[in-house]
Structure 1
Protein backbone atom coordinates (compact mmCIF):
# COMPACT_ATOMS: atom_id res chain seq x y z
CA UNK A 1 0.00 0.00 0.00
CA UNK A 2 1.08 3.61 -0.48
CA UNK A 3 2.27 5.62 2.52
CA UNK A 4 2.66 9.33 3.13
CA UNK A 5 6.16 10.31 4.27
CA UNK A 6 7.93 13.43 5.46
CA UNK A 7 10.96 14.40 7.54
CA UNK A 8 13.30 11.64 8.66
CA UNK A 9 10.87 8.94 7.52
CA UNK A 10 11.15 10.26 3.94
CA UNK A 11 14.95 10.49 4.14
CA UNK A 12 15.20 6.95 5.51
CA UNK A 13 12.87 5.57 2.83
CA UNK A 14 14.99 7.11 0.05
CA UNK A 15 18.13 5.65 1.66
CA UNK A 16 16.50 2.21 1.70
CA UNK A 17 15.53 2.34 -1.96
CA UNK A 18 19.13 3.20 -2.91
CA UNK A 19 20.94 0.66 -0.75
CA UNK A 20 18.43 -2.18 -1.29
CA UNK A 21 18.52 -2.10 -5.09
CA UNK A 22 19.44 -5.48 -6.61
CA UNK A 23 18.56 -5.11 -10.32
CA UNK A 24 18.03 -1.43 -11.06
CA UNK A 25 17.79 1.98 -9.45
CA UNK A 26 16.09 4.89 -11.20
CA UNK A 27 16.76 8.35 -9.78
CA UNK A 28 14.65 11.19 -11.20
CA UNK A 29 15.71 14.56 -9.85
CA UNK A 30 16.04 17.95 -11.61
CA UNK A 31 18.87 18.96 -9.28
CA UNK A 32 21.56 16.70 -7.84
CA UNK A 33 24.18 17.44 -5.22
CA UNK A 34 25.63 14.58 -3.21
CA UNK A 35 26.95 14.78 0.32
CA UNK A 36 28.87 12.05 2.16
CA UNK A 37 25.63 10.54 3.46
CA UNK A 38 24.22 9.98 -0.05
CA UNK A 39 27.57 8.65 -1.30
CA UNK A 40 27.70 6.12 1.54
CA UNK A 41 24.44 4.64 0.22
CA UNK A 42 25.48 4.71 -3.42
CA UNK A 43 28.86 3.17 -2.57
CA UNK A 44 27.03 0.05 -1.37
CA UNK A 45 25.90 -0.65 -4.97
CA UNK A 46 28.63 1.16 -6.89
CA UNK A 47 30.69 -1.90 -7.83
CA UNK A 48 27.81 -4.23 -8.72
CA UNK A 49 27.56 -4.52 -12.54
CA UNK A 50 24.21 -6.32 -12.22
CA UNK A 51 22.52 -3.15 -10.94
CA UNK A 52 21.56 -0.67 -13.63
CA UNK A 53 21.72 2.86 -12.25
CA UNK A 54 19.72 5.42 -14.23
CA UNK A 55 20.08 9.11 -13.40
CA UNK A 56 17.53 11.44 -14.98
CA UNK A 57 18.13 15.11 -14.21
CA UNK A 58 16.93 18.35 -15.84
CA UNK A 59 16.65 22.12 -16.20
CA UNK A 60 19.42 24.53 -17.31
CA UNK A 61 19.83 23.51 -20.96
CA UNK A 62 22.63 26.02 -21.56
CA UNK A 63 24.71 24.70 -18.67
CA UNK A 64 23.53 21.46 -17.11
CA UNK A 65 26.33 21.68 -14.52
CA UNK A 66 23.97 24.03 -12.71
CA UNK A 67 21.66 21.02 -12.31
CA UNK A 68 24.31 18.45 -11.41
CA UNK A 69 27.76 19.26 -10.11
CA UNK A 70 30.69 18.12 -12.24
CA UNK A 71 32.22 16.05 -9.45
CA UNK A 72 28.89 14.28 -8.88
CA UNK A 73 28.52 13.60 -12.60
CA UNK A 74 32.03 12.10 -12.66
CA UNK A 75 31.15 10.03 -9.60
CA UNK A 76 28.14 8.47 -11.32
CA UNK A 77 30.18 7.84 -14.49
CA UNK A 78 32.38 5.49 -12.42
CA UNK A 79 29.51 3.02 -11.97
CA UNK A 80 29.90 -0.13 -14.14
CA UNK A 81 26.30 -0.12 -15.42
CA UNK A 82 24.93 3.40 -15.65
CA UNK A 83 22.73 5.62 -17.84
CA UNK A 84 22.72 9.39 -17.35
CA UNK A 85 19.98 11.34 -19.11
CA UNK A 86 18.84 14.95 -19.32
CA UNK A 87 15.23 16.16 -19.56
CA UNK A 88 14.95 19.95 -20.08
CA UNK A 89 11.38 20.20 -18.71
CA UNK A 90 11.88 17.94 -15.73
CA UNK A 91 10.34 19.02 -12.43
CA UNK A 92 9.24 15.62 -11.04
CA UNK A 93 11.26 13.70 -8.45
CA UNK A 94 11.15 9.95 -7.84
CA UNK A 95 13.31 7.10 -6.52
CA UNK A 96 12.50 3.59 -7.71
CA UNK A 97 14.12 0.16 -7.60
CA UNK A 98 12.77 -3.23 -8.67
CA UNK A 99 10.55 -3.58 -5.59
CA UNK A 100 9.48 -0.17 -4.35
CA UNK A 101 9.45 3.52 -5.11
CA UNK A 102 8.83 7.03 -3.84
CA UNK A 103 7.31 10.03 -5.61
CA UNK A 104 8.36 13.13 -3.70
CA UNK A 105 9.03 16.85 -3.71
CA UNK A 106 12.67 16.26 -2.68
CA UNK A 107 15.62 16.50 -5.05
CA UNK A 108 18.68 14.33 -4.61
CA UNK A 109 20.23 17.33 -2.95
CA UNK A 110 21.95 17.47 0.42
CA UNK A 111 20.40 20.81 1.42
CA UNK A 112 16.89 19.52 0.71
CA UNK A 113 17.43 16.48 2.92
CA UNK A 114 18.69 18.56 5.83
CA UNK A 115 16.72 21.80 5.69
CA UNK A 116 13.56 21.70 3.57
CA UNK A 117 10.07 20.53 4.44
CA UNK A 118 9.51 17.76 1.88
CA UNK A 119 6.63 15.35 1.28
CA UNK A 120 6.57 11.99 -0.43
CA UNK A 121 4.41 8.95 -1.18
CA UNK A 122 5.98 5.47 -1.01
CA UNK A 123 4.56 2.52 -2.95
CA UNK A 124 5.38 -1.14 -3.58
CA UNK A 125 5.43 -3.26 -6.71
CA UNK A 126 4.03 -6.36 -5.03
CA UNK A 127 0.83 -4.90 -3.58
CA UNK A 128 -2.14 -6.40 -5.40
CA UNK A 129 -4.15 -3.21 -5.33
CA UNK A 130 -1.17 -0.94 -6.11
CA UNK A 131 -1.06 0.61 -9.59
CA UNK A 132 1.27 3.52 -8.85
CA UNK A 133 4.40 1.44 -9.51
CA UNK A 134 3.16 0.34 -12.95
CA UNK A 135 1.83 3.80 -13.86
CA UNK A 136 5.13 5.39 -12.89
CA UNK A 137 7.09 2.88 -15.00
CA UNK A 138 4.93 3.64 -18.07
CA UNK A 139 5.32 7.40 -17.67
CA UNK A 140 9.06 7.03 -17.08
CA UNK A 141 9.51 4.97 -20.28
CA UNK A 142 7.45 7.48 -22.28
CA UNK A 143 9.72 10.26 -21.08
CA UNK A 144 12.83 8.31 -22.09
CA UNK A 145 11.43 7.68 -25.58
CA UNK A 146 9.85 11.05 -26.34
CA UNK A 147 12.07 13.79 -24.96
CA UNK A 148 14.94 12.77 -22.65
CA UNK A 149 18.50 13.13 -23.98
CA UNK A 150 21.16 10.48 -23.42
CA UNK A 151 24.30 12.06 -21.96
CA UNK A 152 26.35 9.06 -20.83
CA UNK A 153 25.86 5.30 -21.26
CA UNK A 154 28.13 2.58 -19.87
CA UNK A 155 27.42 -1.16 -19.90
CA UNK A 156 29.10 -4.17 -18.29
CA UNK A 157 30.89 -6.86 -20.31
CA UNK A 158 30.47 -10.43 -19.09
CA UNK A 159 32.18 -13.70 -19.97
CA UNK A 160 29.52 -16.38 -20.28
CA UNK A 161 30.18 -19.82 -18.75
CA UNK A 162 28.33 -23.12 -18.38
CA UNK A 163 26.37 -22.68 -21.60
CA UNK A 164 25.30 -19.19 -20.59
CA UNK A 165 23.90 -20.10 -17.16
CA UNK A 166 26.65 -18.22 -15.32
CA UNK A 167 28.61 -15.11 -16.18
CA UNK A 168 31.71 -13.37 -14.90
CA UNK A 169 32.12 -9.62 -15.01
CA UNK A 170 35.17 -8.56 -17.05
CA UNK A 171 34.95 -4.81 -17.54
CA UNK A 172 32.61 -2.02 -18.64
CA UNK A 173 32.45 -0.27 -21.99
CA UNK A 174 31.35 3.32 -22.58
CA UNK A 175 28.77 3.33 -25.37
CA UNK A 176 28.06 7.05 -25.34
CA UNK A 177 29.63 10.08 -23.71
CA UNK A 178 28.29 13.55 -24.53
CA UNK A 179 29.01 15.01 -21.12
CA UNK A 180 31.82 17.24 -22.41
CA UNK A 181 30.02 18.48 -25.52
CA UNK A 182 26.37 18.43 -24.56
CA UNK A 183 24.83 21.32 -26.54
CA UNK A 184 21.09 20.64 -27.00
CA UNK A 185 20.52 24.17 -28.36
CA UNK A 186 23.09 23.76 -31.14
CA UNK A 187 21.69 23.54 -34.69
CA UNK A 188 23.82 20.45 -35.40
CA UNK A 189 22.84 18.68 -32.19
CA UNK A 190 21.03 15.31 -32.55
CA UNK A 191 19.18 13.80 -29.61
CA UNK A 192 19.99 10.19 -28.80
CA UNK A 193 16.97 8.51 -27.23
CA UNK A 194 17.47 5.84 -24.60
CA UNK A 195 15.64 3.13 -26.53
CA UNK A 196 17.85 3.78 -29.56
CA UNK A 197 20.54 2.06 -27.49
CA UNK A 198 18.50 -0.41 -25.45
CA UNK A 199 21.44 -2.64 -24.42
CA UNK A 200 21.36 -4.22 -20.98
CA UNK A 201 24.81 -5.81 -21.06
CA UNK A 202 27.48 -7.19 -23.38
CA UNK A 203 29.39 -10.46 -23.58
CA UNK A 204 33.09 -10.77 -24.22
CA UNK A 205 32.27 -11.77 -27.83
CA UNK A 206 30.09 -8.76 -28.56
CA UNK A 207 31.30 -5.93 -30.75
CA UNK A 208 30.71 -2.58 -29.12
CA UNK A 209 27.86 -1.08 -31.15
CA UNK A 210 28.25 2.20 -32.98
CA UNK A 211 25.49 4.52 -31.88
CA UNK A 212 24.03 6.62 -34.66
CA UNK A 213 22.01 9.82 -34.55
CA UNK A 214 18.56 9.96 -36.10
CA UNK A 215 19.90 12.00 -39.04
CA UNK A 216 22.64 9.40 -39.64
CA UNK A 217 20.00 6.69 -39.64
CA UNK A 218 17.93 8.66 -42.17
CA UNK A 219 20.99 9.08 -44.42
CA UNK A 220 21.72 5.37 -44.10
CA UNK A 221 18.15 4.55 -45.13
CA UNK A 222 18.35 6.95 -48.08
CA UNK A 223 21.60 5.33 -49.21
CA UNK A 224 19.96 1.93 -48.93
CA UNK A 225 17.07 3.07 -51.14
CA UNK A 226 19.52 4.54 -53.66
CA UNK A 227 21.38 1.23 -53.77
CA UNK A 228 18.13 -0.64 -54.32
CA UNK A 229 17.26 1.72 -57.19
CA UNK A 230 20.75 1.25 -58.67
CA UNK A 231 20.39 -2.54 -58.56
CA UNK A 232 16.93 -2.25 -60.10
CA UNK A 233 18.33 -0.10 -62.92
CA UNK A 234 21.16 -2.58 -63.53
CA UNK A 235 18.69 -5.43 -63.75
CA UNK A 236 16.58 -3.46 -66.24
CA UNK A 237 19.70 -2.69 -68.27
CA UNK A 238 20.61 -6.38 -68.22
CA UNK A 239 17.09 -7.29 -69.36
CA UNK A 240 17.26 -4.84 -72.25
CA UNK A 241 20.69 -6.12 -73.26
CA UNK A 242 19.42 -9.70 -73.33
CA UNK A 243 16.48 -8.56 -75.44
CA UNK A 244 18.85 -6.80 -77.83
CA UNK A 245 20.97 -9.93 -78.12
CA UNK A 246 17.89 -12.02 -78.86
CA UNK A 247 16.89 -9.58 -81.59
CA UNK A 248 20.38 -9.76 -83.05
CA UNK A 249 20.29 -13.55 -83.09
CA UNK A 250 16.84 -13.44 -84.63
CA UNK A 251 18.01 -10.96 -87.24
CA UNK A 252 21.03 -13.10 -88.06
CA UNK A 253 18.87 -16.18 -88.41
CA UNK A 254 16.57 -14.24 -90.72
CA UNK A 255 19.52 -13.14 -92.80
CA UNK A 256 20.67 -16.75 -93.08
CA UNK A 257 17.27 -17.81 -94.37
CA UNK A 258 16.42 -18.34 -98.04
CA UNK A 259 16.71 -15.05 -99.92
CA UNK A 260 13.16 -15.60 -101.18
CA UNK A 261 11.77 -15.22 -97.66
CA UNK A 262 10.58 -11.80 -96.52
CA UNK A 263 8.58 -10.44 -93.59
CA UNK A 264 5.47 -8.36 -93.26
CA UNK A 265 6.54 -4.90 -92.17
CA UNK A 266 3.42 -4.57 -89.98
CA UNK A 267 3.05 -8.00 -88.31
CA UNK A 268 6.47 -9.61 -88.73
CA UNK A 269 5.04 -12.81 -90.19
CA UNK A 270 6.89 -14.57 -93.00
CA UNK A 271 5.82 -13.79 -96.56
CA UNK A 272 7.61 -14.04 -99.91
CA UNK A 273 10.37 -11.46 -100.29
CA UNK A 274 9.01 -8.67 -102.47
CA UNK A 275 9.94 -5.09 -101.51
CA UNK A 276 7.18 -3.80 -103.78
CA UNK A 277 4.62 -5.71 -101.70
CA UNK A 278 6.07 -5.96 -98.16
CA UNK A 279 2.74 -6.56 -96.41
CA UNK A 280 0.83 -9.73 -95.66
CA UNK A 281 -2.63 -10.11 -97.22
CA UNK A 282 -4.58 -8.85 -94.18
CA UNK A 283 -2.09 -6.08 -93.47
CA UNK A 284 -2.20 -4.96 -97.10
CA UNK A 285 -5.99 -4.60 -97.07
CA UNK A 286 -5.70 -2.59 -93.84
CA UNK A 287 -3.10 -0.35 -95.48
CA UNK A 288 -5.33 0.17 -98.54
CA UNK A 289 -7.86 2.01 -96.40
CA UNK A 290 -5.47 4.97 -96.11
CA UNK A 291 -2.76 4.23 -98.67
CA UNK A 292 -0.18 6.13 -96.65
CA UNK A 293 3.20 5.30 -98.16
CA UNK A 294 5.04 6.87 -95.22
CA UNK A 295 3.06 5.30 -92.37
CA UNK A 296 5.62 3.92 -89.93
CA UNK A 297 5.67 0.14 -89.56
CA UNK A 298 7.42 -2.29 -87.21
CA UNK A 299 9.53 -4.90 -89.02
CA UNK A 300 12.24 -4.89 -91.67
CA UNK A 301 10.90 -6.68 -94.75
CA UNK A 302 14.28 -8.29 -95.47
CA UNK A 303 15.46 -9.42 -92.00
CA UNK A 304 12.28 -9.51 -89.92
CA UNK A 305 14.06 -7.44 -87.26
CA UNK A 306 11.80 -5.49 -84.89
CA UNK A 307 12.63 -1.87 -85.70
CA UNK A 308 9.46 -0.04 -84.54
CA UNK A 309 8.53 2.93 -86.70
CA UNK A 310 11.70 2.90 -88.83
CA UNK A 311 10.27 1.32 -91.99
CA UNK A 312 7.27 2.06 -94.19
CA UNK A 313 5.61 1.05 -97.44
CA UNK A 314 7.89 3.53 -99.17
CA UNK A 315 11.04 2.28 -97.41
CA UNK A 316 10.34 -1.35 -96.37
CA UNK A 317 13.98 -2.37 -95.83
CA UNK A 318 15.94 -0.94 -92.92
CA UNK A 319 19.10 0.98 -93.82
CA UNK A 320 18.50 0.51 -97.56
CA UNK A 321 18.17 2.98 -100.40
CA UNK A 322 15.32 0.97 -101.82
CA UNK A 323 12.21 3.10 -102.29
CA UNK A 324 8.71 2.30 -103.56
CA UNK A 325 6.77 4.79 -105.54
CA UNK A 326 3.06 5.37 -105.06
CA UNK A 327 2.11 1.73 -105.58
CA UNK A 328 -1.65 2.29 -105.88
CA UNK A 329 -1.06 4.19 -109.10
CA UNK A 330 0.76 1.21 -110.56
CA UNK A 331 -0.32 -1.73 -108.44
CA UNK A 332 1.88 -4.82 -108.35
CA UNK A 333 0.51 -8.30 -108.25
CA UNK A 334 0.99 -9.54 -104.67
CA UNK A 335 3.19 -12.63 -104.35
CA UNK A 336 0.76 -14.12 -101.89
Structure 2
Protein backbone atom coordinates (compact mmCIF):
# COMPACT_ATOMS: atom_id res chain seq x y z
CA UNK A 1 0.00 0.00 0.00
CA UNK A 2 1.26 3.49 -0.85
CA UNK A 3 2.92 5.17 2.15
CA UNK A 4 3.38 8.85 2.99
CA UNK A 5 7.01 9.70 3.85
CA UNK A 6 8.77 12.94 4.76
CA UNK A 7 12.17 14.60 5.11
CA UNK A 8 15.03 12.17 5.88
CA UNK A 9 12.83 9.09 5.34
CA UNK A 10 11.97 10.43 1.90
CA UNK A 11 15.60 10.99 0.98
CA UNK A 12 16.51 7.53 2.27
CA UNK A 13 13.70 5.96 0.19
CA UNK A 14 15.02 7.63 -2.99
CA UNK A 15 18.60 6.58 -2.25
CA UNK A 16 17.47 3.00 -1.51
CA UNK A 17 15.46 2.89 -4.73
CA UNK A 18 18.53 3.86 -6.76
CA UNK A 19 20.79 1.44 -4.92
CA UNK A 20 18.40 -1.52 -5.29
CA UNK A 21 17.60 -1.13 -8.99
CA UNK A 22 18.36 -4.30 -10.96
CA UNK A 23 17.01 -3.41 -14.42
CA UNK A 24 16.37 0.33 -14.67
CA UNK A 25 16.00 3.51 -12.66
CA UNK A 26 14.31 6.73 -13.78
CA UNK A 27 15.34 9.95 -12.06
CA UNK A 28 12.82 12.71 -12.81
CA UNK A 29 14.01 15.85 -11.04
CA UNK A 30 14.08 19.41 -12.41
CA UNK A 31 17.30 20.11 -10.52
CA UNK A 32 20.06 17.57 -9.88
CA UNK A 33 23.17 18.13 -7.77
CA UNK A 34 24.28 14.80 -6.31
CA UNK A 35 25.88 14.51 -2.91
CA UNK A 36 28.40 11.83 -1.98
CA UNK A 37 25.79 9.33 -0.72
CA UNK A 38 23.77 9.53 -3.93
CA UNK A 39 26.92 9.06 -5.99
CA UNK A 40 27.73 5.97 -3.96
CA UNK A 41 24.22 4.66 -4.62
CA UNK A 42 24.70 5.06 -8.38
CA UNK A 43 28.20 3.55 -8.20
CA UNK A 44 26.79 0.44 -6.51
CA UNK A 45 24.59 -0.40 -9.51
CA UNK A 46 25.46 -3.19 -11.92
CA UNK A 47 26.67 -1.96 -15.28
CA UNK A 48 23.64 -3.36 -17.14
CA UNK A 49 21.15 -1.25 -15.14
CA UNK A 50 19.69 1.44 -17.43
CA UNK A 51 19.81 4.88 -15.81
CA UNK A 52 17.51 7.55 -17.23
CA UNK A 53 18.16 11.09 -15.95
CA UNK A 54 15.33 13.53 -16.68
CA UNK A 55 16.02 17.17 -15.73
CA UNK A 56 14.79 20.68 -16.47
CA UNK A 57 16.06 22.46 -19.56
CA UNK A 58 16.60 26.15 -18.91
CA UNK A 59 15.20 28.87 -21.14
CA UNK A 60 17.32 30.67 -23.70
CA UNK A 61 18.27 33.46 -21.31
CA UNK A 62 20.14 31.02 -19.10
CA UNK A 63 22.34 28.38 -20.68
CA UNK A 64 22.83 26.48 -17.43
CA UNK A 65 20.65 23.38 -17.28
CA UNK A 66 18.98 21.93 -14.21
CA UNK A 67 21.82 19.46 -13.68
CA UNK A 68 25.11 20.60 -12.16
CA UNK A 69 28.31 20.19 -14.15
CA UNK A 70 29.80 17.90 -11.50
CA UNK A 71 26.73 15.63 -11.46
CA UNK A 72 26.60 15.50 -15.25
CA UNK A 73 30.27 14.51 -15.49
CA UNK A 74 29.86 11.88 -12.79
CA UNK A 75 26.77 10.33 -14.39
CA UNK A 76 28.39 10.41 -17.85
CA UNK A 77 31.16 8.20 -16.45
CA UNK A 78 28.65 5.43 -15.67
CA UNK A 79 27.52 2.82 -18.23
CA UNK A 80 24.00 2.81 -19.70
CA UNK A 81 23.10 6.42 -18.87
CA UNK A 82 20.57 8.48 -20.88
CA UNK A 83 20.00 12.22 -20.31
CA UNK A 84 16.63 13.76 -21.18
CA UNK A 85 16.18 17.54 -20.98
CA UNK A 86 12.60 18.80 -20.60
CA UNK A 87 11.45 22.41 -20.68
CA UNK A 88 9.02 23.42 -17.93
CA UNK A 89 9.70 20.24 -15.93
CA UNK A 90 8.42 20.61 -12.38
CA UNK A 91 7.40 17.00 -11.59
CA UNK A 92 9.65 15.00 -9.29
CA UNK A 93 9.50 11.22 -9.06
CA UNK A 94 11.91 8.33 -8.94
CA UNK A 95 11.15 4.80 -10.09
CA UNK A 96 12.85 1.44 -10.65
CA UNK A 97 11.41 -1.93 -11.71
CA UNK A 98 9.89 -2.59 -8.26
CA UNK A 99 9.17 0.68 -6.42
CA UNK A 100 8.65 4.37 -7.00
CA UNK A 101 8.61 7.63 -5.06
CA UNK A 102 6.47 10.64 -6.00
CA UNK A 103 8.03 13.60 -4.24
CA UNK A 104 8.41 17.33 -3.67
CA UNK A 105 12.17 16.74 -3.38
CA UNK A 106 14.70 17.65 -6.06
CA UNK A 107 17.76 15.42 -6.12
CA UNK A 108 20.06 18.14 -4.80
CA UNK A 109 22.31 18.65 -1.80
CA UNK A 110 20.26 21.62 -0.63
CA UNK A 111 17.08 19.50 -0.50
CA UNK A 112 18.61 17.58 2.41
CA UNK A 113 17.79 20.56 4.64
CA UNK A 114 14.27 21.27 3.33
CA UNK A 115 10.89 20.15 4.57
CA UNK A 116 9.80 17.62 1.96
CA UNK A 117 6.95 15.14 1.51
CA UNK A 118 6.34 12.22 -0.83
CA UNK A 119 4.53 8.95 -1.49
CA UNK A 120 6.33 5.60 -1.57
CA UNK A 121 4.67 3.12 -3.97
CA UNK A 122 5.29 -0.58 -4.55
CA UNK A 123 4.62 -2.17 -7.96
CA UNK A 124 3.27 -5.38 -6.47
CA UNK A 125 0.86 -3.65 -4.08
CA UNK A 126 0.14 -0.44 -6.02
CA UNK A 127 0.24 -1.75 -9.58
CA UNK A 128 -2.17 0.82 -11.05
CA UNK A 129 -0.41 3.83 -9.51
CA UNK A 130 3.02 2.47 -10.42
CA UNK A 131 2.16 2.09 -14.12
CA UNK A 132 0.35 5.42 -14.18
CA UNK A 133 3.69 7.00 -13.23
CA UNK A 134 5.46 5.23 -16.10
CA UNK A 135 2.63 6.14 -18.48
CA UNK A 136 2.83 9.80 -17.47
CA UNK A 137 6.59 9.75 -18.01
CA UNK A 138 6.13 8.29 -21.49
CA UNK A 139 3.03 10.09 -22.75
CA UNK A 140 2.98 13.23 -20.65
CA UNK A 141 6.69 14.05 -20.61
CA UNK A 142 8.70 12.12 -23.21
CA UNK A 143 6.12 12.47 -25.98
CA UNK A 144 5.32 16.09 -25.10
CA UNK A 145 6.57 19.04 -27.11
CA UNK A 146 9.01 20.11 -24.39
CA UNK A 147 11.16 16.97 -24.36
CA UNK A 148 14.36 16.58 -26.39
CA UNK A 149 13.99 12.79 -26.76
CA UNK A 150 12.81 11.14 -29.99
CA UNK A 151 10.70 8.03 -30.56
CA UNK A 152 13.65 5.75 -31.34
CA UNK A 153 15.42 6.65 -28.12
CA UNK A 154 12.18 6.06 -26.20
CA UNK A 155 11.87 2.56 -27.66
CA UNK A 156 15.36 1.73 -26.45
CA UNK A 157 14.96 2.87 -22.86
CA UNK A 158 11.33 2.39 -21.80
CA UNK A 159 10.90 -0.90 -19.90
CA UNK A 160 8.28 -3.34 -21.11
CA UNK A 161 5.34 -4.04 -18.82
CA UNK A 162 5.98 -7.29 -16.96
CA UNK A 163 3.58 -10.23 -17.06
CA UNK A 164 0.95 -9.74 -14.35
CA UNK A 165 -1.55 -12.50 -13.61
CA UNK A 166 -4.61 -11.96 -11.40
CA UNK A 167 -6.95 -14.92 -11.10
CA UNK A 168 -9.75 -16.25 -8.93
CA UNK A 169 -12.37 -18.95 -9.43
CA UNK A 170 -14.54 -16.80 -11.71
CA UNK A 171 -12.36 -14.10 -13.26
CA UNK A 172 -8.88 -13.89 -14.78
CA UNK A 173 -6.94 -10.76 -15.70
CA UNK A 174 -3.61 -10.82 -17.54
CA UNK A 175 -1.89 -7.42 -17.67
CA UNK A 176 -5.28 -5.91 -16.85
CA UNK A 177 -7.02 -7.64 -19.77
CA UNK A 178 -9.98 -9.92 -19.03
CA UNK A 179 -9.41 -13.48 -20.21
CA UNK A 180 -12.17 -16.01 -20.76
CA UNK A 181 -12.01 -18.52 -17.89
CA UNK A 182 -12.26 -21.51 -20.22
CA UNK A 183 -9.37 -20.22 -22.30
CA UNK A 184 -7.38 -19.77 -19.14
CA UNK A 185 -8.16 -23.32 -17.99
CA UNK A 186 -7.02 -24.66 -21.35
CA UNK A 187 -3.56 -23.27 -20.63
CA UNK A 188 -3.22 -25.91 -17.95
CA UNK A 189 -3.17 -28.63 -20.59
CA UNK A 190 0.32 -27.37 -21.44
CA UNK A 191 1.61 -27.18 -17.87
CA UNK A 192 4.31 -29.66 -16.92
CA UNK A 193 2.44 -30.48 -13.70
CA UNK A 194 -0.04 -33.34 -14.09
CA UNK A 195 -1.52 -33.35 -10.60
CA UNK A 196 -1.65 -31.01 -7.64
CA UNK A 197 -1.12 -31.27 -3.91
CA UNK A 198 -3.77 -30.26 -1.39
CA UNK A 199 -2.28 -27.30 0.45
CA UNK A 200 -3.68 -28.58 3.77
CA UNK A 201 -3.05 -32.36 3.75
CA UNK A 202 -0.76 -32.85 0.68
CA UNK A 203 -3.23 -35.31 -0.91
CA UNK A 204 -2.16 -35.84 -4.54
CA UNK A 205 -5.49 -37.11 -5.85
CA UNK A 206 -6.49 -33.68 -7.17
CA UNK A 207 -5.87 -31.77 -10.38
CA UNK A 208 -3.31 -29.01 -10.52
CA UNK A 209 -5.28 -25.79 -10.58
CA UNK A 210 -4.16 -22.99 -8.25
CA UNK A 211 -7.67 -21.55 -8.02
CA UNK A 212 -8.82 -24.83 -6.41
CA UNK A 213 -5.89 -25.98 -4.24
CA UNK A 214 -7.80 -28.19 -1.76
CA UNK A 215 -8.94 -31.79 -1.89
CA UNK A 216 -12.71 -32.11 -1.40
CA UNK A 217 -12.41 -33.06 2.28
CA UNK A 218 -10.12 -30.15 3.17
CA UNK A 219 -12.21 -27.71 1.17
CA UNK A 220 -15.25 -28.62 3.25
CA UNK A 221 -13.21 -27.91 6.38
CA UNK A 222 -11.98 -24.58 4.99
CA UNK A 223 -15.49 -23.65 3.83
CA UNK A 224 -16.83 -23.67 7.39
CA UNK A 225 -14.99 -20.41 8.17
CA UNK A 226 -13.97 -19.19 4.69
CA UNK A 227 -10.87 -17.43 6.01
CA UNK A 228 -8.72 -16.54 2.95
CA UNK A 229 -5.75 -15.73 5.21
CA UNK A 230 -5.71 -19.03 7.06
CA UNK A 231 -2.21 -20.47 6.92
CA UNK A 232 -1.87 -23.81 5.14
CA UNK A 233 1.10 -26.23 4.96
CA UNK A 234 2.03 -27.27 1.42
CA UNK A 235 2.73 -25.92 -2.07
CA UNK A 236 -0.04 -26.89 -4.47
CA UNK A 237 2.40 -27.53 -7.33
CA UNK A 238 5.45 -29.28 -5.82
CA UNK A 239 4.14 -30.45 -2.44
CA UNK A 240 6.98 -28.82 -0.54
CA UNK A 241 6.17 -28.04 3.08
CA UNK A 242 5.86 -24.25 3.21
CA UNK A 243 3.48 -21.50 4.31
CA UNK A 244 0.63 -21.08 1.82
CA UNK A 245 -2.99 -19.94 1.80
CA UNK A 246 -5.93 -20.36 -0.55
CA UNK A 247 -5.13 -17.20 -2.54
CA UNK A 248 -1.37 -17.88 -2.58
CA UNK A 249 -1.11 -21.66 -2.90
CA UNK A 250 2.36 -21.85 -4.54
CA UNK A 251 5.88 -21.52 -3.19
CA UNK A 252 8.05 -18.77 -4.72
CA UNK A 253 9.84 -21.13 -7.12
CA UNK A 254 6.58 -22.61 -8.40
CA UNK A 255 5.06 -19.15 -8.86
CA UNK A 256 7.87 -18.33 -11.29
CA UNK A 257 7.42 -21.57 -13.25
CA UNK A 258 3.64 -21.31 -13.29
CA UNK A 259 3.62 -17.70 -14.47
CA UNK A 260 6.20 -18.52 -17.14
CA UNK A 261 3.92 -21.29 -18.47
CA UNK A 262 0.86 -19.06 -18.36
CA UNK A 263 2.70 -16.21 -20.11
CA UNK A 264 3.95 -18.60 -22.80
CA UNK A 265 0.42 -19.78 -23.64
CA UNK A 266 -1.03 -16.31 -23.34
CA UNK A 267 1.49 -14.99 -25.86
CA UNK A 268 0.48 -17.75 -28.28
CA UNK A 269 -3.13 -16.54 -28.17
CA UNK A 270 -1.99 -12.94 -28.73
CA UNK A 271 0.01 -13.96 -31.80
CA UNK A 272 -3.01 -15.76 -33.29
CA UNK A 273 -5.08 -12.61 -32.98
Question: TM-score, structure 2 length as denominator?
Answer: 0.53
Counterparts of 1:124 and 1:69, CA distance in 2? 30
- Residues 57 and 90, structure 1, Cα contact 8 Å, conserved in 2: yes
Matched, 1:50 2:7: no
The secondary structure found in structure 1 opposite 2:67 is coil
The secondary structure found in structure 2 opposite 1:68 is coil
Matched, 1:199 2:196: no
Structure scoring higher RCO (CA < 8 A, sep ≥ 6) equals: 2
- Structure 2 counterpart of 1:238: none
- Structure 2 counterpart of 1:29: 29
Matched, 1:116 2:114: yes
- Structure 2 counterpart of 1:102: 101
Which residues in structure 2 correspond to 1:88-167 (within 5 Å)? 88-113=87-112, 115-127=113-125, 130-142=127-139, 143-150=141-148
* 1:61 CA displacement: 2.6
- Structure 1 counterpart of 2:3: 3
* 1:64 CA displacement: 5.1
- Residues 88 and 146, structure 2, Cα contact 8 Å, conserved in 1: no
Task: List gaps (5 residues or longer) in structure 1.
Answer: 151-191, 201-336
Counterparts of 2:127 and 2:155, CA distance in 1? 28
- Structure 1 counterpart of 2:165: none
* 1:49 CA displacement: 3.0
Counterparts of 2:99 and 2:92, CA distance in 1? 15
- Structure 2 counterpart of 1:213: none
The secondary structure found in structure 2 opposite 1:132 is helix
The secondary structure found in structure 1 opposite 2:143 is helix
* 1:146 CA displacement: 2.3
- Residues 30 and 56, structure 2, Cα contact 8 Å, conserved in 1: yes
* 1:43 CA displacement: 1.1
- Structure 1 counterpart of 2:214: none
Cα 1:53–1:64 shift into 2, 3 Å: farther
* 1:144 CA displacement: 1.0
Cα 1:66–1:120 shift into 2, 3 Å: same
Counterparts of 1:69 and 1:57, CA distance in 2? 10
Counterparts of 1:197 and 1:103, CA distance in 2? 21
Cα 1:64–1:123 shift into 2, 3 Å: farther
Of structures 1 and 2, the larger Rg is shown by 1
- Structure 2 counterpart of 1:70: 69
The secondary structure found in structure 1 opposite 2:53 is strand
* 1:71 CA displacement: 1.8
Cα 1:198–1:111 shift into 2, 3 Å: same
Q: Deviations over 1:65-101 (max 9, x none)?
A: 3411112111111121111001101100001000000
Counterparts of 2:6 and 2:58, CA distance in 1? 28
Q: Deviations over 1:8-39 (max 9, x none)?
A: 21111111101000000000000011111211
The number of residue pairs the alignment matches comes to 155
- Residues 145 and 195, structure 1, Cα contact 8 Å, conserved in 2: no
The secondary structure found in structure 1 opposite 2:94 is strand
Cα 1:7–1:197 shift into 2, 3 Å: closer
Cα 1:131–1:197 shift into 2, 3 Å: closer
Aligned-pair RMSD on alpha carbons?
A: 1.8
- Structure 1 counterpart of 2:17: 17
Task: List gaps (5 residues or longer) in structure 2.
Answer: 158-273
